[in-house]
Chains A and B, each alone.
Chain A
């Protein structure tokens, strides 16, 4: 089975721009979560999608938005980029039932630098 993949691996944007990050879930997983990891800190939960609906959100402003597609792949969109948005963005997929419940399988991340 294929793991979680993310694209692009690295990205440089300037303040005020918009960015779209992409994630392909592990085969058969119907839940996708996005996390932001600033340098030297643990990942922070942004939001989660289950069957194409937002299923929970962390303490992030509305300019962070997402989508989940019928094939369970997902996008994270960030508008009006700020310098503090520079971070590693991680996507994780999981199964609601079956397998090792409660585990999330992470992709390698997209490193975003905002100048």
Chain B
């Protein structure tokens, strides 16, 4: 799986959009970008994933650059409950049988 690089921490004001970047310059054509988050003392939670096209669900939007070397997770209206560590993970297939390789993630602090 391709290596990812994320900033260690970010702050965001409550109600504003949180934009979390991820670099994955060595991504292969068949690798997907997944985002998970981990709220303090809980298990990681799936947020969204994509291959080439931008994706949106009820939690977030995922913007993948045309060359696929980077992506941005957007939380459109951050709340205090979005304070968590966010992990960007690149993996080669989308079956449930391969392990997730977590990096250090980005610690997002939403400020009141």
Contacts and interface: CB of A to CB of B under 8 A. Distances in A.
A106 B31 CA distance: 22
Nearest to B34: A102
Which of A41, A42, A48 has the largest count of B CB atoms less than 10 A from its CB? Answer: A42
Contacts of A97: 95-96
12 contacts: A31-B96, A33-B100, A43-B44, A94-B97, A96-B95, A101-B96, A102-B34, A102-B91, A102-B94, A106-B43, A107-B43, A109-B42
Given A48-B99, A50-B97, 10 more contacts: A33-B100, A41-B104, A43-B102, A44-B102, A45-B99, A92-B43, A92-B100, A102-B34, A102-B98, A104-B46
A43 B43 CA distance: 9
Interface of B: 32, 34, 41-46, 49, 85, 87, 91, 93-105
A96 B93 CA distance: 11
Which of A48, A55, A58, A102 has the largest count of B CB atoms less than 10 A from its CB? Answer: A102
Interface of A: 4, 29, 31, 33, 35, 41-45, 48, 50, 55-56, 58, 88, 90, 92, 94-97, 100-109
Contact of B97 (A96, A106, A109): A96
A96 B97 CA distance: 6
Contacts of A108: 42-43
Given A43-B100, A58-B99, A101 B94 contact: yes
A107 B38 CA distance: 11
Contacts of B49: 100, 102-103
A45 B43 contact: no
Contacts of B41: 88, 109
Contacts of B93: 102
A103 B85 CA distance: 17
A55 B99 CA distance: 10
A41 B101 CA distance: 12
Lowest 8 A-B CB distances belong to which pairs? A94-B96, A106-B43, A42-B102, A102-B94, A45-B99, A101-B94, A103-B46, A43-B102
A96 to B, nearest CB: 5
